[in-house]
A and B are shown apart, each in its own frame.
Chain A
Amino acid sequence: MKRLLILLLLAAPVVAYGKEVLPFIDNDYEKAVARAKAKNVPIFADAWAPW
Protein backbone atom coordinates (compact mmCIF):
# COMPACT_ATOMS: atom_id res chain seq x y z
CA MET A 1 0.00 0.00 0.00
CA LYS A 2 2.85 2.36 0.83
CA ARG A 3 4.24 2.01 -2.68
CA LEU A 4 0.76 2.43 -4.18
CA LEU A 5 0.44 5.80 -2.51
CA ILE A 6 3.78 6.92 -3.85
CA LEU A 7 2.80 5.88 -7.36
CA LEU A 8 0.06 8.45 -7.13
CA LEU A 9 2.29 11.18 -5.74
CA LEU A 10 5.52 10.32 -7.44
CA ALA A 11 8.58 12.52 -7.38
CA ALA A 12 10.89 12.09 -4.50
CA PRO A 13 14.16 13.20 -3.01
CA VAL A 14 17.49 11.48 -2.99
CA VAL A 15 19.46 11.85 0.18
CA ALA A 16 22.48 10.41 1.88
CA TYR A 17 23.07 9.44 5.48
CA GLY A 18 25.34 11.37 7.78
CA LYS A 19 27.07 8.22 8.95
CA GLU A 20 29.87 10.18 10.50
CA VAL A 21 27.48 11.16 13.32
CA LEU A 22 25.40 8.00 13.82
CA PRO A 23 27.11 4.78 12.64
CA PHE A 24 24.20 3.20 10.77
CA ILE A 25 24.41 -0.43 9.67
CA ASP A 26 22.76 -0.75 6.25
CA ASN A 27 20.22 -3.50 5.60
CA ASP A 28 21.62 -6.10 7.99
CA TYR A 29 19.23 -6.80 10.86
CA GLU A 30 21.10 -9.88 12.09
CA LYS A 31 24.34 -7.94 12.37
CA ALA A 32 22.51 -5.20 14.28
CA VAL A 33 20.98 -7.72 16.71
CA ALA A 34 24.34 -9.37 17.36
CA ARG A 35 26.05 -6.05 17.92
CA ALA A 36 23.25 -4.76 20.18
CA LYS A 37 23.37 -7.92 22.30
CA ALA A 38 27.13 -7.62 22.62
CA LYS A 39 26.91 -3.95 23.63
CA ASN A 40 23.73 -4.48 25.69
CA VAL A 41 21.97 -1.53 24.04
CA PRO A 42 18.71 -1.31 22.04
CA ILE A 43 18.52 -1.04 18.25
CA PHE A 44 17.23 2.12 16.64
CA ALA A 45 15.85 1.22 13.20
CA ASP A 46 14.93 3.64 10.43
CA ALA A 47 12.77 1.86 7.85
CA TRP A 48 12.98 4.23 4.91
CA ALA A 49 12.40 4.35 1.17
CA PRO A 50 14.57 6.11 -1.42
CA TRP A 51 11.60 7.69 -3.19
Chain B
Amino acid sequence: MRAFVFPDRSLARHAGQFVWLAIDIDNTANSSFLVKFPVTGTPTLMVIDPQTEAAVLRYVGSASVPQLEQLLRDGAEATRGKPLSAGVEAENLIESLRQSRDLENCAARALELYPRFAGTASGASIAERGLSCALRIPDQSKTLALAKAVHDEAENPRNALIDGDRAALYLGLVAERKKAKDEAGMRSIREQLAAFLEARAAAATTPAQRASYDFYRVRVYRELGQSEKSIPMLEQTERDFPTDYVPTLSLSRVYQTMGKYDEALAASDRALARVTSAAKVMVLDLRSDVYAAKGDKTTAAQTLRDAIAFNESLPPGLRDEGINTMLKKKLEKISQ
Protein backbone atom coordinates (compact mmCIF):
# COMPACT_ATOMS: atom_id res chain seq x y z
CA MET B 1 0.00 0.00 0.00
CA ARG B 2 2.88 2.34 0.77
CA ALA B 3 4.25 1.93 -2.75
CA PHE B 4 1.09 1.92 -4.82
CA VAL B 5 -2.01 2.98 -2.87
CA PHE B 6 -1.23 5.84 -0.49
CA PRO B 7 0.72 7.77 -3.18
CA ASP B 8 -2.24 7.54 -5.59
CA ARG B 9 -3.25 11.09 -6.44
CA SER B 10 -6.93 10.19 -6.67
CA LEU B 11 -6.90 9.90 -2.87
CA ALA B 12 -6.00 13.59 -2.47
CA ARG B 13 -9.69 14.46 -2.16
CA HIS B 14 -9.78 12.53 1.13
CA ALA B 15 -6.73 14.26 2.62
CA GLY B 16 -8.73 16.70 4.76
CA GLN B 17 -11.35 14.19 5.88
CA PHE B 18 -9.01 12.38 8.29
CA VAL B 19 -5.85 12.87 10.26
CA TRP B 20 -3.44 10.32 8.79
CA LEU B 21 -1.26 8.33 11.16
CA ALA B 22 1.45 5.81 10.25
CA ILE B 23 2.48 3.44 13.03
CA ASP B 24 5.62 1.35 12.53
CA ILE B 25 4.91 -1.64 14.77
CA ASP B 26 8.65 -2.16 15.37
CA ASN B 27 9.22 1.40 16.61
CA THR B 28 9.44 1.56 20.41
CA ALA B 29 7.88 5.04 20.31
CA ASN B 30 4.61 3.24 19.49
CA SER B 31 4.52 1.04 22.58
CA SER B 32 1.47 2.69 24.19
CA PHE B 33 -0.42 2.76 20.87
CA LEU B 34 0.23 -0.96 20.37
CA VAL B 35 -0.94 -1.77 23.90
CA LYS B 36 -4.11 0.24 23.30
CA PHE B 37 -4.66 -1.12 19.78
CA PRO B 38 -3.07 -4.61 19.55
CA VAL B 39 -2.01 -5.53 16.02
CA THR B 40 -2.37 -9.16 14.95
CA GLY B 41 -1.27 -8.76 11.36
CA THR B 42 0.13 -6.11 9.05
CA PRO B 43 -1.04 -3.90 7.76
CA THR B 44 -3.89 -3.26 10.18
CA LEU B 45 -5.96 -0.31 9.05
CA MET B 46 -8.05 1.52 11.63
CA VAL B 47 -10.37 4.46 11.89
CA ILE B 48 -10.20 5.94 15.37
CA ASP B 49 -12.68 8.35 16.92
CA PRO B 50 -10.46 10.97 18.59
CA GLN B 51 -13.12 11.86 21.17
CA THR B 52 -13.48 8.34 22.56
CA GLU B 53 -10.12 7.05 21.29
CA ALA B 54 -11.89 3.87 20.19
CA ALA B 55 -11.22 2.10 16.89
CA VAL B 56 -14.60 2.21 15.17
CA LEU B 57 -13.19 0.25 12.24
CA ARG B 58 -10.39 -2.31 12.13
CA TYR B 59 -9.33 -4.10 8.99
CA VAL B 60 -6.45 -6.56 8.80
CA GLY B 61 -4.93 -6.68 5.33
CA SER B 62 -3.96 -4.54 2.39
CA ALA B 63 -6.39 -2.57 0.29
CA SER B 64 -6.47 -1.26 -3.26
CA VAL B 65 -7.50 2.36 -3.86
CA PRO B 66 -11.21 1.47 -4.28
CA GLN B 67 -11.06 -0.79 -1.20
CA LEU B 68 -9.40 1.96 0.82
CA GLU B 69 -12.05 4.44 -0.26
CA GLN B 70 -14.73 1.99 0.93
CA LEU B 71 -12.93 1.68 4.27
CA LEU B 72 -12.78 5.47 4.56
CA ARG B 73 -16.53 5.73 3.87
CA ASP B 74 -17.22 2.95 6.36
CA GLY B 75 -14.95 4.52 8.97
CA ALA B 76 -16.59 7.93 8.66
CA GLU B 77 -20.03 6.33 8.95
CA ALA B 78 -18.94 4.21 11.90
CA THR B 79 -17.97 7.31 13.86
CA ARG B 80 -21.66 8.26 13.56
CA GLY B 81 -22.76 4.84 14.80
CA LYS B 82 -23.60 3.46 11.36
CA PRO B 83 -22.84 -0.17 10.43
CA LEU B 84 -19.97 -1.18 8.14
CA SER B 85 -20.68 -2.04 4.51
CA ALA B 86 -21.65 -5.65 3.85
CA GLY B 87 -18.36 -6.59 2.15
CA VAL B 88 -16.12 -5.21 4.90
CA GLU B 89 -18.39 -6.73 7.56
CA ALA B 90 -18.14 -10.14 5.87
CA GLU B 91 -14.35 -9.92 5.51
CA ASN B 92 -13.99 -8.95 9.15
CA LEU B 93 -16.21 -11.85 10.23
CA ILE B 94 -14.05 -14.40 8.39
CA GLU B 95 -10.85 -12.79 9.68
CA SER B 96 -12.19 -12.86 13.22
CA LEU B 97 -13.08 -16.56 12.96
CA ARG B 98 -9.61 -17.24 11.53
CA GLN B 99 -7.87 -15.31 14.29
CA SER B 100 -9.84 -17.17 16.96
CA ARG B 101 -8.97 -20.46 15.24
CA ASP B 102 -12.63 -21.34 14.78
CA LEU B 103 -11.57 -23.03 11.56
CA GLU B 104 -14.69 -25.06 10.75
CA ASN B 105 -16.90 -22.00 11.08
CA CYS B 106 -14.40 -19.84 9.23
CA ALA B 107 -14.41 -22.16 6.21
CA ALA B 108 -18.17 -22.76 6.34
CA ARG B 109 -19.08 -19.07 6.61
CA ALA B 110 -16.60 -18.18 3.86
CA LEU B 111 -18.29 -20.69 1.58
CA GLU B 112 -21.72 -19.27 2.44
CA LEU B 113 -20.68 -15.65 1.97
CA TYR B 114 -18.44 -15.97 -1.08
CA PRO B 115 -21.13 -16.17 -3.82
CA ARG B 116 -22.58 -12.83 -2.69
CA PHE B 117 -19.24 -11.09 -3.19
CA ALA B 118 -17.71 -13.12 -6.05
CA GLY B 119 -15.73 -11.01 -8.51
CA THR B 120 -15.00 -8.28 -5.95
CA ALA B 121 -12.04 -7.58 -3.70
CA SER B 122 -14.15 -8.64 -0.71
CA GLY B 123 -14.97 -11.90 -2.45
CA ALA B 124 -11.28 -12.58 -3.10
CA SER B 125 -10.43 -11.83 0.51
CA ILE B 126 -13.24 -14.04 1.86
CA ALA B 127 -12.18 -16.93 -0.38
CA GLU B 128 -8.49 -16.60 0.47
CA ARG B 129 -9.02 -16.32 4.24
CA GLY B 130 -11.59 -19.13 4.13
CA LEU B 131 -9.22 -21.41 2.22
CA SER B 132 -6.47 -20.81 4.78
CA CYS B 133 -8.92 -22.10 7.43
CA ALA B 134 -10.15 -25.01 5.32
CA LEU B 135 -6.59 -26.23 4.76
CA ARG B 136 -6.30 -26.86 8.51
CA ILE B 137 -9.44 -28.98 8.87
CA PRO B 138 -10.15 -32.51 7.60
CA ASP B 139 -13.20 -31.56 5.49
CA GLN B 140 -11.83 -31.85 1.96
CA SER B 141 -15.02 -30.65 0.26
CA LYS B 142 -14.70 -27.16 1.76
CA THR B 143 -11.04 -26.99 0.72
CA LEU B 144 -11.86 -27.88 -2.87
CA ALA B 145 -14.77 -25.45 -3.12
CA LEU B 146 -12.78 -22.58 -1.63
CA ALA B 147 -9.74 -23.40 -3.78
CA LYS B 148 -11.97 -23.06 -6.85
CA ALA B 149 -13.16 -19.68 -5.57
CA VAL B 150 -9.57 -18.57 -4.94
CA HIS B 151 -8.55 -19.73 -8.41
CA ASP B 152 -11.44 -17.83 -10.00
CA GLU B 153 -10.47 -14.66 -8.12
CA ALA B 154 -6.77 -15.02 -8.94
CA GLU B 155 -7.64 -15.11 -12.64
CA ASN B 156 -10.26 -12.37 -12.50
CA PRO B 157 -8.90 -8.85 -13.15
CA ARG B 158 -12.31 -7.31 -12.39
CA ASN B 159 -11.70 -7.63 -8.65
CA ALA B 160 -8.91 -5.03 -9.12
CA LEU B 161 -6.75 -6.44 -6.33
CA ILE B 162 -3.36 -4.97 -5.57
CA ASP B 163 -0.66 -7.31 -6.81
CA GLY B 164 0.37 -8.47 -3.35
CA ASP B 165 -3.14 -9.65 -2.62
CA ARG B 166 -3.30 -11.44 -5.97
CA ALA B 167 0.02 -13.12 -5.16
CA ALA B 168 -1.48 -14.26 -1.85
CA LEU B 169 -4.27 -15.98 -3.78
CA TYR B 170 -1.71 -17.95 -5.81
CA LEU B 171 0.11 -18.89 -2.62
CA GLY B 172 -3.20 -20.17 -1.22
CA LEU B 173 -3.51 -22.38 -4.29
CA VAL B 174 0.06 -23.64 -3.76
CA ALA B 175 -0.85 -24.54 -0.18
CA GLU B 176 -3.90 -26.43 -1.41
CA ARG B 177 -1.80 -28.42 -3.91
CA LYS B 178 0.74 -29.08 -1.13
CA LYS B 179 -1.98 -30.59 1.05
CA ALA B 180 -2.95 -32.75 -1.95
CA LYS B 181 0.74 -33.79 -2.28
CA ASP B 182 0.71 -32.63 -5.91
CA GLU B 183 4.31 -31.58 -6.55
CA ALA B 184 3.78 -30.86 -10.25
CA GLY B 185 0.73 -28.75 -9.47
CA MET B 186 2.65 -26.76 -6.86
CA ARG B 187 5.48 -26.12 -9.27
CA SER B 188 3.15 -25.03 -12.02
CA ILE B 189 1.39 -22.45 -9.81
CA ARG B 190 4.70 -21.17 -8.45
CA GLU B 191 6.04 -20.71 -11.97
CA GLN B 192 2.87 -18.88 -12.94
CA LEU B 193 3.23 -16.66 -9.87
CA ALA B 194 6.91 -15.97 -10.57
CA ALA B 195 6.07 -14.90 -14.14
CA PHE B 196 3.29 -12.64 -12.87
CA LEU B 197 5.56 -11.01 -10.29
CA GLU B 198 8.42 -10.51 -12.75
CA ALA B 199 6.12 -8.85 -15.27
CA ARG B 200 4.65 -6.56 -12.65
CA ALA B 201 8.03 -5.67 -11.15
CA ALA B 202 9.33 -4.84 -14.62
CA ALA B 203 6.42 -2.41 -15.05
CA ALA B 204 7.10 -0.63 -11.74
CA THR B 205 7.82 3.07 -12.10
CA THR B 206 9.59 3.77 -8.79
CA PRO B 207 12.22 1.90 -6.74
CA ALA B 208 9.67 1.51 -3.93
CA GLN B 209 7.18 -0.07 -6.28
CA ARG B 210 9.78 -2.46 -7.69
CA ALA B 211 10.99 -3.38 -4.21
CA SER B 212 7.45 -4.12 -3.08
CA TYR B 213 7.61 -7.30 -5.18
CA ASP B 214 10.78 -8.57 -3.44
CA PHE B 215 8.91 -10.31 -0.64
CA TYR B 216 6.88 -12.56 -2.92
CA ARG B 217 9.65 -13.07 -5.50
CA VAL B 218 12.14 -14.18 -2.84
CA ARG B 219 9.61 -16.57 -1.41
CA VAL B 220 8.54 -18.10 -4.71
CA TYR B 221 12.13 -18.50 -5.95
CA ARG B 222 13.11 -20.16 -2.68
CA GLU B 223 10.22 -22.57 -3.00
CA LEU B 224 11.18 -23.29 -6.62
CA GLY B 225 14.75 -24.01 -5.53
CA GLN B 226 15.95 -20.98 -7.52
CA SER B 227 17.07 -18.64 -4.74
CA GLU B 228 19.98 -17.35 -6.83
CA LYS B 229 17.41 -15.43 -8.90
CA SER B 230 16.61 -13.30 -5.84
CA ILE B 231 20.12 -11.92 -5.42
CA PRO B 232 20.23 -9.30 -8.23
CA MET B 233 16.90 -7.76 -7.22
CA LEU B 234 17.81 -7.61 -3.54
CA GLU B 235 21.18 -6.05 -4.40
CA GLN B 236 19.31 -3.48 -6.48
CA THR B 237 16.99 -2.76 -3.55
CA GLU B 238 19.98 -2.38 -1.24
CA ARG B 239 21.47 0.16 -3.66
CA ASP B 240 18.14 2.01 -3.86
CA PHE B 241 17.67 2.05 -0.06
CA PRO B 242 21.22 2.05 1.34
CA THR B 243 20.27 2.75 4.95
CA ASP B 244 17.53 0.14 5.16
CA TYR B 245 18.13 -3.18 6.92
CA VAL B 246 15.37 -5.08 5.13
CA PRO B 247 17.05 -5.96 1.81
CA THR B 248 20.26 -6.99 3.58
CA LEU B 249 18.31 -9.20 5.97
CA SER B 250 16.59 -10.78 2.99
CA LEU B 251 19.94 -11.25 1.23
CA SER B 252 21.30 -12.94 4.32
CA ARG B 253 18.42 -15.39 4.30
CA VAL B 254 18.82 -16.08 0.58
CA TYR B 255 22.55 -16.78 0.94
CA GLN B 256 21.84 -19.02 3.92
CA THR B 257 19.32 -20.98 1.84
CA MET B 258 22.01 -21.40 -0.84
CA GLY B 259 24.58 -22.63 1.71
CA LYS B 260 26.76 -19.52 1.19
CA TYR B 261 27.26 -18.84 4.88
CA ASP B 262 30.09 -16.29 4.67
CA GLU B 263 28.04 -14.14 2.29
CA ALA B 264 25.04 -14.62 4.58
CA LEU B 265 27.03 -13.34 7.56
CA ALA B 266 28.38 -10.37 5.58
CA ALA B 267 24.82 -9.36 4.68
CA SER B 268 23.77 -9.94 8.29
CA ASP B 269 26.57 -7.61 9.44
CA ARG B 270 25.12 -4.86 7.26
CA ALA B 271 21.58 -5.54 8.51
CA LEU B 272 22.72 -5.47 12.12
CA ALA B 273 24.47 -2.14 11.55
CA ARG B 274 21.30 -0.62 10.07
CA VAL B 275 18.46 -2.01 12.18
CA THR B 276 17.38 0.32 14.98
CA SER B 277 14.04 -1.18 15.94
CA ALA B 278 12.45 -4.28 17.45
CA ALA B 279 13.26 -6.01 14.18
CA LYS B 280 16.77 -6.57 15.56
CA VAL B 281 15.30 -9.78 17.02
CA MET B 282 14.72 -11.07 13.50
CA VAL B 283 18.24 -10.14 12.41
CA LEU B 284 19.78 -11.94 15.39
CA ASP B 285 17.59 -15.00 14.99
CA LEU B 286 18.58 -15.44 11.36
CA ARG B 287 22.22 -14.76 12.22
CA SER B 288 22.06 -17.57 14.76
CA ASP B 289 20.67 -19.89 12.08
CA VAL B 290 23.63 -19.07 9.83
CA TYR B 291 26.16 -19.81 12.58
CA ALA B 292 24.35 -23.06 13.35
CA ALA B 293 24.41 -24.04 9.69
CA LYS B 294 28.15 -23.33 9.62
CA GLY B 295 28.55 -25.69 12.55
CA ASP B 296 29.45 -22.95 15.06
CA LYS B 297 26.98 -23.90 17.78
CA THR B 298 28.68 -21.78 20.44
CA THR B 299 28.21 -18.50 18.54
CA ALA B 300 24.76 -19.61 17.38
CA ALA B 301 23.68 -20.15 20.99
CA GLN B 302 25.15 -16.84 22.16
CA THR B 303 23.41 -15.02 19.32
CA LEU B 304 20.11 -16.61 20.34
CA ARG B 305 20.69 -15.51 23.92
CA ASP B 306 21.31 -11.97 22.61
CA ALA B 307 18.05 -12.15 20.62
CA ILE B 308 16.08 -13.33 23.67
CA ALA B 309 17.60 -10.65 25.90
CA PHE B 310 16.84 -7.97 23.32
CA ASN B 311 13.25 -9.18 22.87
CA GLU B 312 12.72 -9.21 26.63
CA SER B 313 14.07 -5.65 26.87
CA LEU B 314 11.41 -4.34 24.50
CA PRO B 315 8.49 -2.35 25.93
CA PRO B 316 4.94 -3.74 26.12
CA GLY B 317 3.26 -3.90 22.75
CA LEU B 318 6.53 -4.70 21.00
CA ARG B 319 7.81 -7.58 23.12
CA ASP B 320 6.65 -10.72 21.34
CA GLU B 321 5.94 -13.67 23.62
CA GLY B 322 5.44 -16.04 20.69
CA ILE B 323 8.87 -15.31 19.31
CA ASN B 324 10.41 -15.56 22.77
CA THR B 325 9.03 -19.08 23.17
CA MET B 326 10.32 -20.02 19.74
CA LEU B 327 13.80 -18.60 20.42
CA LYS B 328 14.04 -20.41 23.75
CA LYS B 329 13.08 -23.70 22.10
CA LYS B 330 15.78 -23.18 19.48
CA LEU B 331 18.32 -22.36 22.18
CA GLU B 332 17.40 -25.49 24.11
CA LYS B 333 17.77 -27.59 20.97
CA ILE B 334 21.09 -26.11 19.96
CA SER B 335 22.48 -26.44 23.50
CA GLN B 336 21.81 -30.18 23.65
Interface residues of chain A, those whose CB is within 8 Å of chain B, are: 1-4, 6-7, 9-18, 20-29, 32-33, 35-37, 39, 41-51
Contact = CB atoms under 8 A, between A and B. Distances in A.
Interface stretch (B45-53, B138-146, B178-186, B292-300): B45-53
Interface stretch (B89-97, B129-137, B206-214): B206-214
Given A15-B212, A21-B9, A41-B16, 14 more contacts: A3-B281, A10-B286, A11-B254, A17-B6, A18-B8, A24-B21, A37-B50, A41-B17, A42-B19, A43-B48, A46-B45, A47-B37, A49-B24, A49-B26
Interface residues of B, number: 83
B266 interface: no
B246 A51 contact: yes
- Which of A6, A7, A9, A37 has its CB near the most chain B CB atoms (within 10 A)? A7
A27 B40 CA distance: 18
B249 A51 contact: yes
B196 interface: no
Given A3-B281, A3-B282, A49 B42 contact: yes
Contacts of A37: 50-51
- Which of A22, A28, A47 has its CB near the most chain B CB atoms (within 10 A)? A47
Nearest to B212: A13
B56 A47 contact: no
B85 interface: no
A5 to B, nearest CB: 8
A11 B7 contact: no
Interface string B14-25: 111111111111
B24 A10 contact: no
7 tightest A-B CB contacts, nearest first: A18-B7, A11-B218, A36-B50, A11-B250, A15-B2, A44-B18, A15-B3
B219 interface: yes
B15 A21 contact: yes
11 contacts: A4-B323, A13-B3, A14-B208, A22-B11, A24-B6, A27-B24, A44-B75, A46-B1, A49-B26, A50-B245, A51-B249
B192 interface: no
- Which of B19, B24, B219 has its CB near the most chain A CB atoms (within 10 A)? B19
Contacts of A6: 282
- Which of A11, A12, A36 has its CB near the most chain B CB atoms (within 10 A)? A11
